[in-house]
Structure 1
Amino acid sequence: MQLELAESDLKSVLNRLKRAQGQIAGVARMIEEGRDCEDVVTQLAAASRALDRAGFAIIATGLQQCLTDDLRDGENATTPESREEMRARLEKLFLSLA
Structure 2
Amino acid sequence: MPIVRGIVLCLLAVGLATLPASADVLMLDGEPVVVERADQPTRGMHERTVISRYGEPDARHPAVGEPPISRWDYDGYSVFFEGSFVIHTVVRRADLDQP
**Same fold judged by TM-score > 0.5?**
no
Q: Tell me which of the two structures has the higher relative contact order, counting C-alpha pairs closer than 8 angstroms and 6 or more residues apart.
A: 1
Higher helix share: 1
Give 1 or 2 for the bigger CA radius of gyration: 2
